[in-house]
Amino acid sequence: MRLRKTALAVAGLGMSLALAACGQNAAAPSAPAGSSAPAAPAAGAKVGVILPETASSARWEGFDKPLLTKAMAAAGLQADIQNAQGDEQKFSTLADGMIASGVKVLVIASISSESGAAVAAKAKAQGIPVIDYDRLNLGGSSDYYVSFDNVKVGALQGQGLADALKSKPGAQVIQIEGAPTDNNATLFYNGQQTVLKPLFDSGALKLVQMQAIAKWDNQVGGTTFEQILTSNGGKVDGVAAANDGLAGAIITVLTKVGLNGKVPVTGQDATPDGLQAILRGDQYMTVYKPIDQEADATAKLAAALAKGDKAAADAIATGSSDDTKASRKVPSVLLTPVLITKDKVKSVIDAGAVKASEVCVAATQAACTELGIK
Ligand code: BGC
């Protein structure tokens, strides 16, 4: 163990992250006061994680929190996982507290690029490496980014909608997108457009309106959709909804006017509610993003960074993402999203992401039986 520590320390010499970690280690109980040893072992290292919201998607508390808890523990880290509940001030205060408590690494899924970048700058000024989790902070300075191929997520949504509408030439489409302050929302939209724009241009589909929804607010998404629908004379043939939460609010509106099940709606996150809506026939598809993989990659990266082992971190983050605002490339782990239509719902349950009991309820039991979900 002692030898290993020394080897890591030597390997880390001259690397800014290791030096940065050195400053932090002075306060850590594992390093003697005044020690010049640059790296502490990751074992037990404290990692701060800030999640953005609970209401924008069931994923953050339902999937990310438990899976990050498990992955961080498996990587030998002591994780402090908090949720900012959509409040940028709280996000910043949580980060201050974590920095003051001596975290070795900060992992942030931010509410907006701007507030996320500000937090990252503060952490980095204290020598704490930062991982952008799921959402890339444009104009930021985080060291790494772990997420999915988010343009692909949007392309799967676009493809799902195009497939569902292929026998309806000129079908009228409404697009309800995520928060403009979340770079992912832009990537999802761009991905959708790779499929939908040529169809709009050729007249195969007709765009009624596209609207981005601040803070991914599901309720606002529903009322916005309702207004667009009303001003279009109650006519809609398909809806590109950026996630399952927005899809759910839209389906509520469609149900009110008797169009649920007749109008394909897309989604994302493979939430229990989204999967139920698919089984009922009210939602056409969702995008399953294996959050366990996202949590695992983040924990492994954090463990490497907690040790000041930049080479190990770089070996994990072999992808790259464009920060178009800071004009830099951020080393990334970008995982693969999966298109889920009714016939594929079972695969999400088989993967262990959601329990059968969470999707098989009175309204979906017949579909569950038919699809062998139990
Ligand atoms: C995430 C989605 C989520 C959305 C709203 C995005 O940044 O990638 O999974 O549905 O935020 O929380």
Tens of pLDDT, residue by residue over 161-183, are 999 999 999 999 999 999 999 99
Task: Pick the atom of ligand 1 nearest to 52's CA.
Answer: 12
Residue 104, number of CB atoms within 10 A of its CB: 28
Pick the CATH number of 19-149+290-335 from 3.40.50.1820, 3.40.50.2300, 3.10.520.10, 3.90.550.10: 3.40.50.2300
Question: The tokens of 228 are what?
Answer: 């667009």
**How much distance in Å is there from the Cα of 216 to the middle of ligand 1?**
8
pLDDT in tens, 254-282: 999 999 999 999 999 999 999 999 999 99
Q: Does residue 56 carry a pLDDT above 60?
A: yes
The Cβ of residue 349 has, within 10 Å, a number of other Cβ atoms equal to 22
pLDDT tens, residue by residue, 204-242: 999 999 999 999 999 999 999 999 999 999 999 999 999
Ligand 1 atom closest to the CA of 135, numbered from 1: 7
Per the CB < 8 A criterion, the answer to whether 353 and 288 are in contact is yes
Tally of CA atoms within 13 A in the half-sphere of 247 that contains its CB: 35
pLDDT in tens, 57-88: 999 999 999 999 999 999 999 999 999 999 99
The residue length of the chain stands at 374
Instruction: Please tell me the distance from the alpha carbon of residue 71 to that of residue 296, in angstroms, as a whole number.
Output: 5
Q: Ligand 1: which atom is nearest the Cα of residue 109?
A: 7
* CB neighbour burial string for 153-163, b if at least 16 within 10 angstroms, e if fewer: bbbbbbbbbbe
pLDDT digits (tens, 9 = 90+) for 108-141: 999 999 999 999 999 999 999 999 999 999 999 9
Ligand 1 atom closest to residue 289's alpha carbon, by position in its atom list: 9
Give the pLDDT score at 19: 34
Please state, in angstroms and rounded to a whole number, the distance separating the CA atoms of residues 271 and 287. 9
> In whole angstroms, what is the distance from residue 57 CA to residue 247 CA?
11
Top pLDDT among 154 and 30 is at: 154
Q: Where in the chain is the domain with CATH 3.40.50.2300?
A: 19-149+290-335, 150-288+339-371
Is the pLDDT at 293 greater than 60, yes or no?
yes
The pTM of this model reads 0.89
- pLDDT for res 15: 34
Check pocket membership of 364 for ligand 1, CB cut-off 6 A: no
Instruction: Report the CATH fold assignment for 150-288+339-371.
Output: Rossmann fold (3.40.50)
Question: Is the Cβ–Cβ distance between 311 and 11 less than 8 Å?
Answer: yes
User: Among residues 218, 227, 133, 225, which one has the least CA distance to residue 178?
Assistant: 218
C-alpha distances in angstroms, 294 versus 109, 192, 217, 287? 12, 22, 24, 15
**Is pLDDT of 37 > 70?**
no
Q: Is 64 near ligand 1, meaning CB less than 6 Å away?
A: no
Predicted pLDDT of residue 324:
95
184 lines ligand 1 (CB under 6 A): yes
